[in-house]
Structure 1
Amino acid sequence: MISPPPPATEARRAHAPPLFADLPGDIEVSFEFFPPKTARMAETLWRSVETLAPLGPRFVSVTYGAGGSTRERTHATVARIVAETGIPAAAHLTCVDASRDEIAEVANAYWAAGVRHIVALRGDPPVKDGQFQRFVPHPDGYGDAAALVAGLKALHPFEISVGAYPETHPEAESPEADLAHLKRKVEAGATRAITQFFFDPETFFRFRDRVSAAGIDVDLVPGILPVVNYANVVRMAAQCNTRVPDWMGRLFEGLDDHPEARQLVAATIASEMVRRLYAGGVRHFHFYTLNRAELAYAICHLLGVRAK
């Protein structure tokens, strides 16, 4: 019995060049790390930095724990990156549980250490009973990220990046209010907005169109989260109002005891999404590495980014 021919679209794909073949590598990348809690985690972090540094990232950033709980470790990590790698390093700074004077002290210390880039965020309050609490500004602090940006710019001429939510911040009154808040941050002095992670390129494209229509002149960079642990991603997505598509669960089903296979699937999913974003004109990608370099390195390689 002769099998019917494949659909025309599948036949075309079968004869087309590979999706990642001959990309010119004309993109910029940046990477986000979190500060280590233990000596062993510090070793893992530094191996990741050393692995990704040859790719010549535009910058790397280091996060700031809820309530400023990792302030010292964040500062130490950023200072080491500046001193030992020469890569532009950005430090996260938040409004949570800190007065304006305390934030100024931290910002001045960063400037003295050679840090010229801040990722300014309102920040998440500490977790209580497994749940994030409602944000309450410090009596002598900044009420939101826009005020924080203005305060930082008054101290030093920092380059400032801020956050953006393609699927709307979970505490925003509406998508329009969330977009208006982004505009305030840009007007206060931010020049780059890094998005929360998402899993559908159209989500980013629709958001980019809305940002442009609102007259917000900012470098909009998609935040890319390779899925290392599917269950953890589902939990994080629920906290930040990110939709996890059903097909992703089906692709990771049955892989709990197969970490190597899970990594291959994760690399495939993230690479395809980044390639579609590239086809839509995106040329700067910010990777949430979770201090694991392998997936980000593989995706960059597929995009034509090579060690410099």
Structure 2
Amino acid sequence: MNAAPVISFEFFPPKTVEGMAKLRSARDQLAGFSPKFFSVTFGAGGSTRDRTLETVLDIQQAGYEGAPHLSCISSDKAEIRTLLAQYKQQGIRRLVALRGDIPSGEVSSGDFRYASELVAFIREETGDLFQIEVAAYPEFHPESSSPGADLKHFKQKVDAGANAAITQYFYNADAYFHFLDQCEKLGITIPIVPGIMPIYNFTQLARFSSVCGAEIPRWLRLRLQDYGDDLASLRAFGAEVVEDLCEQLLAGGAPGLHFYTLNQAGTISSILEQLGAGQE
């Protein structure tokens, strides 16, 4: 691996006591890889707002850095101002600022249309108090009118005050490196960390990918489909694919890796061990 790549992990807020126990077990296992932070998602329209904060506080109380996601969708300035005050009081100093997904059948509402507006508002309210992570899309946002427009929107988030970016997941390293080249031409210098999605089953991955615009290359799609119900073989193959992707990214100069865990640790731990990230 490159010298000290930044490793981070994303969780979603569990709904049950059993779910929280599972998350804590995954967190403690992944903590052995010295992550910079654990982020926690924020449901559509803020639907998991309270559980997001509870989960982040649980992470912080265990001695790790937690980073709550903040979403524009259905959020007004008063609500975001209240959340920022809570986060400040609780010692949270890192945020992931996103536009968020519009719930099916709804029209976007609230005071913010774009993540750049949310980032600007956070800076207006709190100055440099928070480290702000934003999203980036090497294969372009599914709602983007063109690659150029997508890059323009990303630059607006950077200019508004983002400190770093985490990409949507992808399985084509060339897409990431080409995206970095385009960002460099626009004068974007913040770290852009590739988001990594482990492969647990094909149906789930295909569903996620159709929603977020991530491409599953044809060769990979057909191989995964060919495993059918043999999940053990599919996951073993998927781990090899993701491990190879991570190796390419780090060898090419990626500043780190951000794993979308789905609140699971086993596959990711195996990948990181194979990469030489070794637990402490």
TM above 0.5, yes or no, is yes
User: How far does the alpha carbon of each residue in 1:212-232 deviate from its partner, in whole angstroms, 9 at most, with x for none?
Assistant: 111112111100001112111
Structure 2: runs of 5 or more not aligned? none
Residues in 2 aligned to 1:42 and 1:83: alpha-carbon distance in whole angstroms: 14
Query: Is the CA contact 2:2–2:251 (under 8 Å) kept in the aligned structure 1?
Result: no
Instruction: Decide which of 154, 164, 173 is 2:124's aligned counterpart.
Output: 154
1:270 corresponds to: 242
Structure 1: runs of 5 or more not aligned? 1-22
Could you tell me which amino acid in structure 1 is paired with residue 7 of structure 2?
A: V
Instruction: Decide which of 12, 26, 29 is 1:48's aligned counterpart.
Output: 26
Query: Is the CA contact 1:27–1:305 (under 8 Å) kept in the aligned structure 2?
Result: no
1:124 corresponds to: 101
Residues in 1 aligned to 2:2 and 2:53: alpha-carbon distance in whole angstroms: 36
Could you tell me which amino acid in structure 2 is paired with residue 109 of structure 1?
A: Q
Residues in 2 aligned to 1:163 and 1:271: alpha-carbon distance in whole angstroms: 22
User: How far does the alpha carbon of each residue in 1:64-112 deviate from its partner, in whole angstroms, 9 at most, with x for none?
Assistant: 011111001100000110111x222111001111210011111211111
- Answer yes or no: is 1:252 the counterpart of 2:229: no
Shift of 1:265: 1.4
Query: Is the CA contact 2:2–2:250 (under 8 Å) kept in the aligned structure 1?
Result: no
Shift of 1:152: 1.0
Summarize the alignment of residues 211-290 of structure 1 with structure 2, pairs less than 5 Å apart: 211-290=183-262
SS class of match (1:253): helix
User: How far does the alpha carbon of each residue in 1:15-60 deviate from its partner, in whole angstroms, 9 at most, with x for none?
Assistant: xxxxxxxx57642210001111222222211111011012110111
Residues in 1 aligned to 2:134 and 2:199: alpha-carbon distance in whole angstroms: 23
Residues in 1 aligned to 2:80 and 2:87: alpha-carbon distance in whole angstroms: 11
Query: Is the CA contact 1:119–1:160 (under 8 Å) kept in the aligned structure 2?
Result: yes
Q: 1:95 to 1:244 in 2, by over 3 A?
A: same
| Superposed structure 1 runs of 4+ greater than 4 Å apart | none
Residues in 2 aligned to 1:188 and 1:137: alpha-carbon distance in whole angstroms: 21
Matched residue pairs, number? Answer: 278
Residues in 2 aligned to 1:59 and 1:26: alpha-carbon distance in whole angstroms: 14
Shift of 1:298: 1.3
SS class of match (1:194): strand
2:61 corresponds to: 83
SS class of match (1:127): coil
2:76 corresponds to: 99
SS class of match (2:97): strand
Could you tell me which amino acid in structure 2 is paired with residue 146 of structure 1?
A: S
Greater shift, 150-159 or 188-197, is seen at: 150-159
Summarize the alignment of residues 66-81 of structure 1 with structure 2, pairs less than 5 Å apart: 66-81=44-59
Query: Is the CA contact 2:201–2:231 (under 8 Å) kept in the aligned structure 1?
Result: no
Residues in 1 aligned to 2:273 and 2:20: alpha-carbon distance in whole angstroms: 25
Instruction: Decide which of 80, 88, 92 is 1:111's aligned counterpart.
Output: 88
1:294 corresponds to: 266
Could you tell me which amino acid in structure 2 is paired with residue 83 of structure 1?
A: Q
Could you tell me which amino acid in structure 2 is paired with residue 75 of structure 1?
A: L
Could you tell me which amino acid in structure 2 is paired with residue 122 of structure 1?
A: R
Summarize the alignment of residues 13-52 of structure 1 with structure 2, pairs less than 5 Å apart: 23=1, 26-52=4-30
Query: Is the CA contact 1:147–1:188 (under 8 Å) kept in the aligned structure 2?
Result: yes
Residues in 1 aligned to 2:69 and 2:44: alpha-carbon distance in whole angstroms: 11
Shift of 1:153: 1.6
Could you tell me which amino acid in structure 1 is paired with residue 265 of structure 2?
A: A
Q: 1:302 to 1:283 in 2, by over 3 A?
A: farther
Larger radius of gyration: 1
The normalised TM-score by structure 2 is 0.95
SS class of match (2:132): strand
The normalised TM-score by structure 1 is 0.86
Residues in 1 aligned to 2:222 and 2:119: alpha-carbon distance in whole angstroms: 41
Residues in 1 aligned to 2:248 and 2:65: alpha-carbon distance in whole angstroms: 28
User: How far does the alpha carbon of each residue in 1:140-180 deviate from its partner, in whole angstroms, 9 at most, with x for none?
Assistant: x1221111011112222110000011111111221111111
